[in-house]
Amino acid sequence: MADTLIKSLALLNTKAPYSNTAGKDALDIALIFGSFEQKVSLFFQGDGVWQLMAGQNGSIISVKDYLKTFAAFEFYDIDTIYVCQTSLTQRNLPANFHIEQVQVLNQQAFAQQLTLHQTILRF
């Protein structure tokens, strides 16, 4: 199994945006790995799915809107972005995201994708 793993990083986002810096801290890691041409995937689970919801505006509550930077992922070759279907359903959220290329996966497929990455960092 270990031989089949490509050197890749999974960033597992589990926190909602704005109340703490977890999402921004994960984003900074994603962009730096991207700029060093390292393979990085983003996973959104639990309250982390809120980071993908369209129509949010952090500036209303005086928080820097780091979610806008998600639009730059394609320039960093970050194109594997997964969201957990169960987490969306539990929060009654539609699959209406502010970036494209988001893949909605059921729990099993989500976990399966995670295991394909050599390193998982959780925020």
Partner 1 sequence: MYNFSCTIFRNKTVNKLAVMITTPPYSNLSVTALDYIETALKNGVELIGVFFYQDGVLHADAHVQIASDEFQAISHWRKLHQAYKLPLYLCITAAEKRGISDEQTQNISPIFTISGLGELVELSTMADRLVQF
Interface residues toward partner 1, by CB under 8 A: 2, 7, 9, 21-22, 25, 28-29, 32-33, 36, 38, 118-122
Q: How far is the CB of 50 from partner 1 (least distance, A)?
A: 19
Cβ distance 41 to 113 under 8 Å? yes
CB of 54 to partner 1, least distance (A): 27
Name the residue with tokens 């059921």: 106
3-state DSSP assignment of residue 44: strand
**Residue 95 Cβ vs partner 1, minimum distance, rounded to whole Å:** 29
Cα–Cα separations (whole angstroms), residue 48 to 5, 11, 22, 35, 93: 25, 11, 10, 24, 12
Residue whose CB is less far from partner 1, 10 or 88: 10
> Which is nearer to partner 1, 7 or 92 (by Cβ)?
7
The answer to whether 46 touches 14, Cβ cutoff 8 Å, is: yes
Using the minimum distance from each CB to partner 1, give the nearer residue, 77 or 100.
77
